[in-house]
C-alpha cells in the first residue's frame, strides 16, 4: 500500500492509505479526545468529540477524525477556537444526560464545559453505541440494540436472548462511559418487566 503525506498540527506525517486521521495523529503523538472509540470495534463517529478541522484544495471543513481517511496533502488542525467551542457544546449536551460521568467530566474540565448549562435529563446514555456494538461485533450475541429514533432513541435488550447470554457475559457493563450501571439497569428491566404490548399476543386476532 502506498504512503500518503499529510500535515497534522504542523507536523509532516506519512500514513498508509486507508488509515484514519485519528490513527495517523496518534502515530506522531498528537492526541485527539474520543468517547465512542474502542480498539476492538469499528469506528462509529457517534460522539463527534474527535472532530478536527481539515483543509484540502483550499476548502476547510470539520470532520470526525475517527472515520475520515487520510488524503494526500491534507492539512489537519486538531485544536482551534472553533473546535474547542464545538467540543464544549457537545460535552455540555452529553452532561445533561450523564452529569456524573467521569470521562465526560475530565474532558469538560479541559474544554471549560459547564455541566449545568442545559437542563438535566438524566437518561445516562450518550448514544456512543459501545455496548450495542460490542455485543454485535465482538460477542456476536446481538442481545442488545437501539430502539426508536431522535430524542427517544435508547438502548434495549431483547429478553429472549438476554436471559440466555447476558448473565455469564456482562462485558458491556464496564464499557459504558456514563455509568457502569446503565446497561445493567436496562438489562434487569428487560428481564423482569411485564411483557410489552409488542411481545404480547393479541386476544382478538391471536
Partner 1 sequence: MDSGKIDQIINKHNADAGSLIQILLEIQNENNWLPKEALTRVSETLAVPMSRIRHITTFYKTFSLVPRGRHEVHVCTGTACHVRGAERVLEAVEGVTGVNAGETDPDLNFSVETVGCIGCCALGPVVVVDGEYHGNILPAEITKVLQDKK
Other beta carbons within 10 Å of 111: 18
DSSP class of residue 166 equals G
Binding mask 31-70 for partner 1 (x = CB under 8 A): ----------------------------------------
Q: How far is the CB of 188 from partner 1 (least distance, A)?
A: 18
Q: Is 194 in the site for partner 1 (CB under 8 A)?
A: no
Q: Which three cell numbers stand for residue 118?
A: 442545559
Q: Is 149 in the site for partner 1 (CB under 8 A)?
A: yes
Q: Which three cell numbers stand for residue 67?
A: 472515520
- By beta-carbon proximity to partner 1, the closer residue of 31 and 199 is 199
Q: Which of 64, 144, 166, 172 binds partner 1 (CB under 8 A)?
A: 144
Other beta carbons within 10 Å of 30: 20
Q: Which of 143, 175, 176, 183 binds partner 1 (CB under 8 A)?
A: 143
Q: Which of 27, 136, 163, 179 binds partner 1 (CB under 8 A)?
A: 136
CA dihedral 89, 93, 94, 100 (to 10 degrees): 100
CA angle (20 as vertex; 83, 10 as ends), nearest 5: 55
Q: Which three cell numbers stand for residue 145?
A: 440494540
- Binding positions for partner 1, rule: CB under 8 A: 132, 135-136, 142-149, 156, 158, 160-161, 197-199, 201-202, 204-205
Amino acid at each position: 500500500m502506498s504512503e500518503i503525506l499529510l500535515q497534522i498540527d504542523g507536523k509532516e506525517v506519512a500514513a498508509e492509505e486507508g488509515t484514519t486521521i485519528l490513527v495517523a495523529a496518534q502515530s506522531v503523538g498528537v492526541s485527539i479526545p474520543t468517547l465512542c472509540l474502542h480498539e476492538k470495534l469499528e469506528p462509529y463517529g457517534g460522539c463527534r468529540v474527535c472532530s478536527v478541522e481539515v483543509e484540502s484544495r483550499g476548502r476547510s471543513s470539520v470532520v470526525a477524525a475517527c472515520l475520515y481517511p487520510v488524503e494526500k496533502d491534507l492539512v489537519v488542525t486538531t485544536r482551534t477556537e472553533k473546535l474547542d467551542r464545538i467540543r464544549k457544546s457537545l460535552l455540555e449536551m452529553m452532561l445533561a444526560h450523564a452529569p456524573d460521568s467521569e470521562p465526560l467530566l475530565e474532558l469538560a474540565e479541559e474544554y471549560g464545559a459547564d455541566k449545568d448549562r442545559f437542563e438535566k435529563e438524566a437518561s445516562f446514555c450518550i448514544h456512543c453505541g459501545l455496548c450495542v456494538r460490542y455485543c454485535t461485533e465482538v460477542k456476536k450475541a446481538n442481545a442488545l440494540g437501539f430502539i426508536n429514533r431522535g430524542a427517544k432513541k435508547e438502548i434495549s435488550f431483547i429478553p429472549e436472548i438476554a436471559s440466555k447470554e447476558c448473565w455469564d457475559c456482562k462485558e458491556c457493563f464496564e464499557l459504558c462511559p456514563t455509568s457502569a450501571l446503565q446497561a445493567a439497569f436496562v438489562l434487569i428491566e428487560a428481564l423482569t418487566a411485564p411483557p410489552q404490548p409488542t411481545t404480547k399476543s393479541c386476544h382478538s386476532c391471536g
